[in-house]
Chains A and B, each alone.
Chain A
Amino acid sequence: MNTRDGDAKRDWQTLALVVLTLILCIFVANIHLEVRGEVADIDIGMRFFHSAIVSFMLTTGLLFMFTLAFAHRQARITEQALGMFLTTVVAVLVYGWAIDAGMLLPGVVGDVWSQFSTTVLRLLVAECAGLLALGICFGLLLALVSGRRHADDPLLELSSEDFSAADGDDSAE
């Protein structure tokens, strides 16, 4: 890696560009291969909205539980716990309001629980897919990276048992 100033930022910008390009390619592939209106019928905007709100709600709830689990006498966590709890409640209220306003997932029963449970189940599947993808890519990468053999350090072969020159220095002191 180049250690000149500013190169780390440029490297990460390049990596971000690679990721965005790949996402764009997948989007274009989906739209280009649409034949019978599958893309228009799915309403990706509503899927995105429901997934975003529910994942926000679940993540803040999870962080609230973690805050409670790690609380101890010396920690000042009142603001943190209260903040995450209130954020979760606000997310729940916003979601309920959105459902009542008619922002529903297509093809799912219109009550709040059905909309919420369907979104949670889809998010669970997506998270499992994410964990699988991460495991396959980085598991294989780690196994390959660790296979490189290095030459032994030449310093390890030097003997450190001959003290004749060192004894002479001690007698001088």
Chain B
Amino acid sequence: MEPEHPHPQPVTFAGGVLDPYRHVCAFVNSKDEESVVLDPFVRQAVDAGDRLLFLLDAKRSAEPVNRLRHLGFDSAALLAQHVCEVRTWADTYLRGGRFDQDEVLTLMERLLRRTDAPRVRMWADMGWAADRPVDSPSLIEFEARANFLHARHQNVVICVYDTAKFDGAFIVDILRTHPMVLLGGVLQQNPYFIPPSEFLHERGARERG
């Protein structure tokens, strides 16, 4: 598929290259571990002229701004220029207080498939799902379906899961829906990834059976 905006340099993240797959599930255990991979990712984004998009808990919505400042950037200017954008869970995954995968996919399409924008590096904290086990099946299906969308753009999407907050069965399913995984601070191609059409077919058969 021809890229809409050919970019000269593939994105590197946690020592690995995000090419050709750019949909990552990042398992982190602590803020320090997060900073180790996020600081260079943010710095590279600003230096490359990419856009940063953070999807976060409202209580942590200042963190990306503080991180930019800490890295020596004029955070207010970057925000004003929309080089960095922060959206809360209430604005994205939980609009109206609930998770609707179709609505979120539509939103993602709008955010990630704009033809007049520079490359986007999205960092999505998925902690909102930790206290909503009822949404787990829908979220897993959403992650699988999102791969169809992500195959049609060149942007980077990193879904961050705190392993301490999710149960093992959920993490296994999440692993199966992401072609790249960050584990132990190292990025690698995910050997457990199942192509979305196959994954969704299996899932549908399991639910019917």
Do A and B interact? no
